[in-house]
């Protein structure tokens, strides 16, 4: 097949950009003719057979990037030259396949129901208004097949944009099961960390990873742990957000000496391998690659049942699921439940976590995409809607 894939960035550092890179590389390796339309390509394998078409893009203000990129793509990409045109979110018009990585309208709906100034301002803030309208336009065309990265996103697209369920296929994001893998032992993984970062020798080791601490629920985790001051544990916090408000919460809760703020780390695998559990009480998460990455490391996950990545899990099998991720009391109870497991039970949970991730390796998820692309190409040739079964 001749495939065109469009996304603002091609790299292995972000979420959407990583999905683009992983799928494009596998498509080319499988013998397909692949052109990637992107503004910037990084982390390119010298052996890759992908061809890149550089696309202009206005980068200021940041929230106009998608619209600017899509308009420039429209000027250089001829859909008739390809069997399938694959776009990520609204990053290219006239696509036959759109991968929905989130639903902005769903997130904005929650923001607008905030009773404070933030909620009121969101109704007129240009970024929100413009992005919501752009998203509406993305799904207005009834022809493209829509790949939702989770059932969460699929239901949001139906609710907020009227996307017919028969147009949607759910394919979860993949995970690098070779790069993220269980350690020989947790103890060895901890000993391999820099001395200043090693957790305490006794008790549970919990890990939190996220770029937006508040939305990902770090404040809830700290308040939950404050109620476990008398138990032995260490929390490692990895991420590039402003630490000070959360250091203050830890100080107020009397646990500042038990929390290690490690800042941004380009590689999180060593920390996931060192932790007994990955704790991620996120309030909104279309998927959450960190969830599947932790599972791939054999690290049980404690997260919100509302997170898309939680669809890979079964409560009590490969981790614990929270009904209300904003409840410090519920999270505290989950942490206690996990700490009460014996070594055999934790080992079984770790093994189950790894199996959950292997089912969604990038190779497996590429094969699912390839099947969909083949069907879309056949539908185009027959004059049927791209999503027709």
**What is the pTM for the complete model shown?**
0.89
Residue 297 and residue 11: Cα distance in Å, rounded? 22
Q: Give pLDDT tens digits for 243-265.
A: 999 999 999 999 999 999 999 98
Answer whether 185's CB lies under 8 Å from 290's CB: no
| Confidence tier at 231 by pLDDT (50, 70, 90) | very high
Answer whether 277's CB lies under 8 Å from 298's CB: no
- 328 in the same domain as 230: yes
- 115 in the same domain as 81: yes
- Say whether pLDDT at 109 is over 90: no
- 365 in the same domain as 354: no
Is residue 388 in a domain? no
- Say whether pLDDT at 90 is over 90: no
Higher-scoring residue by pLDDT: 214, 111: 214
Q: How many residues does the chain have?
A: 389
pLDDT of residue 161: 94
Residue 4 and residue 77: Cα distance in Å, rounded? 8
State CA 261 to chain mean position distance.
22
- 269 in the same domain as 258: yes
Per-residue CA distances from 25 to 113, 153, 290, 337, 376 (Å):
42, 25, 21, 42, 20
Is residue 297 in a domain? yes
pLDDT of residue 284: 85
The proportion of the chain whose per-residue pLDDT surpasses 70, expressed as a percent, equals 96
The proportion of the chain whose per-residue pLDDT surpasses 90, expressed as a percent, equals 77
- Say whether pLDDT at 149 is over 60: yes
- Say whether pLDDT at 321 is over 80: yes
- Say whether pLDDT at 92 is over 90: no
Q: Give pLDDT tens digits for 166-201.
A: 999 999 999 999 999 999 999 999 999 999 898 887
Number of neighbouring beta carbons within 10 Å of residue 169: 18
Q: Domain count of the chain?
A: 2
Per-residue CA distances from 117 to 14, 31, 64 (Å):
31, 53, 24
Provide the β-strand partners of residue 34: 3
Question: Which helix H or strand E contains 186, and what residues bound it?
Answer: helix 186-191
Answer whether 41's CB lies under 8 Å from 17's CB: no
pLDDT of residue 165: 96
- Ranges of beta strands (E only) in the chain are 2-6, 9-10, 33-38, 40-41, 51-54, 84-88, 97-100, 145-148, 168-170, 204-209, 233-238, 259-263, 277-280, 301-304, 319-322
Least confident range of 58-67, 247-256, 272-281, 345-354 = 58-67
- The average pLDDT across 296-306 equals 97
369: which 2 tokens?
């995409």
Is residue 181 in a domain? no
pLDDT of residue 256: 96
- 137 in the same domain as 210: no
Least confident range of 80-84, 126-130, 326-330 = 126-130
CATH number at residue 120: 3.40.50.2000
Residue 48 and residue 23: Cα distance in Å, rounded? 12
Least confident range of 13-17, 145-149, 355-359 = 13-17
Degrees to nearest 5, angle at CA 132 with 326 and 55: 115
Q: Give pLDDT tens digits for 39-78.
A: 999 989 888 999 999 999 887 887 788 888 889 999 999 9
- 229 in the same domain as 158: no
- 288 in the same domain as 368: no
pLDDT of residue 120: 58
pLDDT of residue 179: 93
- 273 in the same domain as 143: no
- Say whether pLDDT at 117 is over 80: no
- 225 in the same domain as 128: no
| Confidence tier at 113 by pLDDT (50, 70, 90) | low
For 139, the domain range is 2-174+361-382
Coil, helix or strand at residue 201: coil
């Amino acid at each position: 097949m001749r495939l065109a894939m469009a996304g603002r960035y091609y790299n292995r550092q972000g979420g959407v950009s990583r999905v683009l890179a992983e799928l494009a590389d596998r498509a080319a390796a499988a013998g397909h003719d692949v052109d990637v339309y992107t503004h910037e390509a990084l982390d390119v394998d010298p052996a890759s057979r992908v061809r890149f078409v550089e696309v202009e893009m206005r980068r200021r203000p940041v929230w106009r990037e998608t619209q600017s990129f899509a308009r420039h793509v429209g000027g250089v990409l001829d859909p008739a030259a390809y069997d399938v045109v694959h776009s990520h979110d609204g990053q290219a018009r006239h696509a036959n396949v759109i991968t929905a990585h989130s639903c902005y309208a769903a997130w904005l709906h929650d923001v607008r129901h905030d009773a404070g100034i933030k909620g009121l301002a969101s109704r007129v803030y240009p970024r929100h208004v413009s992005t919501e309208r752009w998203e509406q336009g993305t799904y207005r065309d009834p022809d493209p097949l829509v790949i939702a990265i989770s059932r969460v996103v699929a239901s949001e697209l139906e609710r907020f944009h009227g996307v017919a369920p028969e147009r949607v296929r759910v394919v979860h994001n993949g995970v690098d099961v070779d790069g993220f893998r269980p350690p020989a032992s947790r103890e060895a993984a901890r000993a391999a960390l820099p001395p200043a970062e090693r957790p305490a020798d006794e008790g549970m080791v919990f890990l939190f990873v996220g770029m937006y601490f508040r939305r990902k629920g770090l404040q809830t985790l700290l308040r939950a742990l404050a109620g476990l001051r008398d138990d032995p544990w260490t929390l490692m916090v990895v991420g590039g957000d402003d630490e000070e408000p959360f250091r203050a919460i830890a100080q107020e809760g009397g646990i500042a000496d038990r929390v290690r703020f490690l800042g941004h780390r380009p590689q999180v695998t060593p920390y996931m391998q060192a932790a007994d559990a990955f704790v991620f009480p996120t309030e909104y998460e279309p998927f959450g690659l960190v969830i599947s990455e932790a599972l791939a490391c054999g690290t049980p996950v404690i997260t919100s049942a509302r997170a898309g990545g939680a669809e890979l899990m079964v409560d009590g099998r490969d981790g614990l699921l929270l009904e209300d991720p904003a409840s410090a009391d519920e999270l505290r109870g989950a942490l206690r439940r996990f700490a009460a497991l014996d070594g055999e039970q934790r080992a079984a949970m770790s093994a189950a976590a790894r199996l959950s991730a292997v089912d969604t390796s990038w190779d497996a998820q590429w094969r699912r995409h390839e099947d969909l692309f083949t069907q879309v190409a056949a539908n185009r040739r027959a004059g049927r809607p791209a999503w027709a079964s």
